[in-house]
A and B are shown apart, each in its own frame.
Chain A
């Protein structure tokens, strides 16, 4: 880490010095990609800097998603903001709500004459970071969607196929895997996988105001019979040994899958690369199951992850530089590199086709599942959600879901609390915008 930091600082200093000599425009990019992902980000930026000679982009790692957003907010208030900042899905409402803090990417790219067509972007990616008129505000960057990974050896041993519906899981797949000595199911993010994308997969309304996109006086509609039934099923499955819950931590739930104890695990399509490196059993992935009792026409899920926002307060030259980077980022080469290196989905249709042509999915079929799921039929409520103080709302969900699964609260009690506390938070967020 320290060595890497020193190296990248040295590199950055070198680039800055070189930039000053040639009067290049220098811009800064704050991101939250640590470890291996951080290396790929640095590679991406190096490629961009090498691809042209007018602009020099410096990437700066600022810690977790929350830390990066907080740092950008503090910097903005002090007039020291970076040109580009990476903001995660749950923080989108905060940064998009603060109109004037950012320049919508659509406007930025059009002003720079780079050209922008929202139809170039993959369906499930297109409108998550857009405003209510469909104007894209943030540039989707590391985009992933929840999918179901399975231990192919375990399923073969139990003599079952990955389930397409939860009914099938409860009646066939789950019991067979349990009898074969496995914990059939685990997941890593209850709010993201079993709440937000549960609503999208079944095309149910998640919040008023068109899932929150059309205004800030939004009310959450999480207390829906379908999701209550789903959590009741989780409680029952846990009792029957079909499902295990290892807490709110992501890795705590992923580790038992990689250790071969859990047969099917719901995680991020971006988890693909890491799993491929670590497990010694045959694994694959498939789209999220759905409840046939809720819908017979399951719909697509939407993206999680984070987007890049162009911050305001810079001269035209620097904005041109930001636009040039976004243009590079959406190029087929950059997207294919990003997609194949990290496992995040490509954000444009062209990049998806190029990856397919290169035979990436013949080699790793599981790498395509996320995109296939994002390309499933869309519905009225599959575009995403926009709610303020959503980080806290997710915290409330995590707390109450844990209480459900540890038997401290019933499903009905917990959902009433989530609904009440989330609506109070939304009301408070609306006041911050006033």
Chain B
């Protein structure tokens, strides 16, 4: 194959400029601004400010409330990622085998994807509502008093359920197309070697799905960390109370609801660093074990 080359270094830079400008304006500049304001306590209107050094950070490490949110976010992310990937993979493998009416099954399974997170949250609130929720009533018939918004873990369970439900279709679509990309010849060869469907899945299908899985893992972690905001907001009804909160939601609560720009900037810087570490770990250690065809 012939290598294409540019005659002059200026031209590729020119081509990159629009993208770099967008990143600079919408990412680097606000990020730098967040780092700067995390060292201040500032009147939201911009009239007064005090330099407080690392106070906004040390305060976080001393706050049991913040540590609770951090712990909850970790548990939440792990559970949401695990269940939404696991269930989607199971559904995709099963749907892949369906011959009659395959399209209908697939469409039905993808349907939920079209629902916006706040709407998903709202549906969750209706299902789990204290007095009228369907799921609450079902649980009550088993003798369990489910109390959304009062009991910490009940609220957490509702958040996780709704978040998983909302994310399954995305994963399903990717897993299904991943499965369909596995060459028929490979599957047939495996079929001759091994009669057991389960071991064929783990030996052949799963490794060949790994690139898709890795991509989805990153997407799902990002989803759990950030995109569940709308679900959390609707389930807690905008009132943090004694409800479980994710780190992103806390940034919003302190910064936007409370007008504490310094404190919330410090939290978003911490979040930025966490995501950076996570990304490095994922690419350095996990991706090495994955083979792209």
Which residues of A pack against B, CB within 8 Å? Answer: 64, 66-67, 69-70, 73, 76-77, 91, 94-95, 97-101, 245-249, 251-252, 255-256, 259, 389, 391-392, 395, 398-400, 402-403, 405-406, 408, 421, 424, 428, 431-434
Contact = CB atoms under 8 A, between A and B. Distances in A.
Given A101-B47, A428-B263, A64 B238 contact: yes
Nearest to A247: B149
A99 B152 CA distance: 40
B127 to A, nearest CB: 15
Closest CB pairs A-B (n = 9): A247-B149, A248-B241, A402-B242, A98-B45, A431-B41, A248-B239, A431-B50, A392-B258, A249-B237
A257 to B, nearest CB: 11
A98 B44 contact: yes
Nearest to B62: A424
Given A398-B242, A432-B48, A66 B256 contact: yes
Nearest to B254: A392
Given A73-B259, A389-B259, A406-B150, A249 B239 contact: yes
B96 interface: no
A76 B259 contact: no
Contacts of A66: 238, 256-257
B52 to A, nearest CB: 7
B261 to A, nearest CB: 8
B43 A433 contact: yes
Is chain B's interface secondary structure helix, strand, loop, or mixed overall?
Answer: loop
Given A98-B43, A248-B149, 17 more contacts: A70-B259, A94-B259, A98-B45, A98-B47, A247-B150, A249-B149, A252-B130, A252-B131, A252-B149, A259-B131, A405-B150, A406-B150, A406-B242, A408-B242, A421-B65, A428-B260, A432-B41
9 contacts: A64-B238, A69-B259, A77-B45, A249-B149, A249-B241, A398-B239, A402-B241, A408-B152, A428-B263
Contacts of A256: 131
Contact of A399 (B150, B241, B256, B263): B241
Contacts of B149: 246-249, 252
Interface in B23-61: 41-50, 52, 59
Contacts of B47: 98-101, 433
B178 interface: no
Nearest to B239: A248
Interface string B133-165: 000000000000001111110000000000000
Interface string B217-257: 00000000000000000001111111100000000011011
A399 to B, nearest CB: 5
A398 B239 CA distance: 9
A248 B59 CA distance: 26
Nearest to B148: A247
A391 B254 CA distance: 9
Interface of B: 41-50, 52, 59, 65, 130-131, 147-152, 236-243, 253-254, 256-260, 262-263
A398 B245 CA distance: 14
Contact of A389 (B65, B151, B239, B260): B260
Contact of B48 (A245, A428, A434): A434
Contacts of B241: 247-249, 395, 398-399, 402
Nearest to B256: A70
Contacts of A405: 150
B199 to A, nearest CB: 48
B151 A406 contact: yes
B280 to A, nearest CB: 33
Contacts of B43: 97-98, 432-433
Given A64-B238, A97-B43, A431 B130 contact: no
A213 to B, nearest CB: 18
Contact of B45 (A73, A255, A399, A408): A73
A424 B254 CA distance: 14
Nearest to A400: B242
Contacts of A392: 253-254, 257-258, 260
Contact of A73 (B44, B152, B237, B240): B44
Contacts of B41: 428, 431-432, 434
Contacts of A69: 259
A262 to B, nearest CB: 11
Contacts of B50: 431-432, 434
Contacts of B59: 424
A342 B35 CA distance: 45
Contacts of A98: 43-45, 47
A399 B257 contact: no
Nearest to B147: A247
Contacts of A431: 41, 50, 52
Contacts of B48: 432-434
Contacts of A100: 45, 47
Given A252-B130, A259-B131, A246 B45 contact: no
Contacts of B262: 432
A403 B242 contact: yes
Contacts of A399: 65, 240-242
B255 to A, nearest CB: 9
B257 A391 contact: yes
A433 B259 CA distance: 13
B44 A247 contact: no
A67 B259 CA distance: 11
A42 B165 CA distance: 40
A434 B259 contact: no
B253 A395 contact: yes
Contacts of A255: 131
Contact of A246 (B150, B238, B253, B258): B150
A160 B163 CA distance: 48
Contacts of B257: 66, 70, 391-392
B45 A391 contact: no
Contacts of B150: 245-247, 402, 405-406
A310 B216 CA distance: 50
